């Protein structure tokens, strides 16, 4: 399994609230968030890890230049207009096959993530397995409409009758997604949620995998919450 991390955001809200470190280097229980992800990936049999960071955080580049992991580490330094564009840049260096993509501030329990990855590795029927959660705390959640078998029917900006899940910001898929991503870029489509809709429109078979809780670190107050969560 290959892994990719989007860490190209500015982290402006954290900075405005007094957090001096770039978001990828914010520590949870003494471990930088980006290192926590890479360590989890390594324990989930990472064949490679690809990371994109922006141009304005040389501290993060310095940190990654000194990281020692056994899997190949690809680092892209480029500021992008959206997470979808960051994913597109990552796709240029990623190996073919199955992979998992996440943002650097997406926080989950390691045991939940390991079970999710194992489920996707064993899945031979679907083109992607989306981590979803019934825990809704995002400021602008993306609602996920599923059928009884948890196959994804649609991605919705607004809640609908019977809405139960939102996207957890963790995406496992195959390289069949890359041509669709390229089409989105060529057609001027932006935002990760619109790319996800394009996958459905192209006939990709996506299934949802429920994890009881996934949280984001967007504000200074989220750091303590995240630390307590992963220790629970």
Tens of pLDDT, residues 148-158: 999 999 999 99
Residue 69 confidence class, pLDDT cut points 50, 70, 90 = very high
Q: Mean pLDDT over residues 190-199, rounded?
A: 96
Count of other CB atoms within 10 angstroms of residue 219: 14
Residue 20 has pLDDT above 90, yes or no: no
Number of domains comprising the chain: 1
| pTM for the structure as a whole | 0.95
Lowest mean pLDDT among 56-60, 142-146, 148-152, 200-204: 56-60
Q: Which long-range contacts (CB under 8 A, 24 or more apart) does 53-56 make?
A: 53/7, 53/8, 53/24, 53/77, 54/7, 54/8, 54/9, 54/10, 54/78, 54/79, 54/80, 55/79, 56/10
Residue 2 has pLDDT above 90, yes or no: yes
Give the structural domain span for 18: 2-231
**CATH code of the domain covering residue 97:** 3.90.550.10
């Amino acid at each position: 399994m290959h892994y990719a991390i989007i860490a190209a955001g500015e982290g402006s809200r954290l900075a405005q609230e007094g957090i001096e470190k770039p978001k990828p280097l914010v520590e949870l229980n003494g471990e930088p968030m980006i290192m926590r992800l890479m360590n989890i990936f390594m324990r989930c049999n990472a064949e490679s890890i690809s990371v994109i960071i922006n141009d304005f955080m040389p501290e993060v580049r310095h940190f990654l230049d000194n990281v020692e992991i056994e899997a190949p580490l690809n680092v892209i330094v480029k500021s992008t207009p959206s997470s979808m564009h960051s994913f597109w840049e990552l796709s240029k260096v990623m190996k073919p096959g199955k992979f998992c993509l996440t943002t650097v501030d997406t926080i989950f329990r390691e045991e939940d993530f390991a079970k999710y990855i194992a489920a996707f590795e064993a899945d031979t029927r679907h083109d992607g397995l989306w981590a979803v959660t019934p825990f809704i705390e995002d400021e602008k959640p993306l609602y996920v409409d599923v059928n009884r078998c948890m196959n994804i029917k649609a991605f919705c900006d607004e809640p609908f009758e019977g809405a139960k899940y939102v996207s957890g910001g963790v995406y496992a898929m195959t390289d069949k997604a890359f041509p669709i991503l390229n089409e989105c870029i060529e057609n001027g489509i932006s935002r990760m949620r619109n790319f996800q809709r394009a996958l459905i429109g192209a006939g990709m078979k996506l299934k949802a995998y429920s994890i009881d809780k996934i949280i984001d670190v967007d504000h200074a107050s989220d750091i303590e919450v995240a630390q307590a969560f992963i220790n629970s």
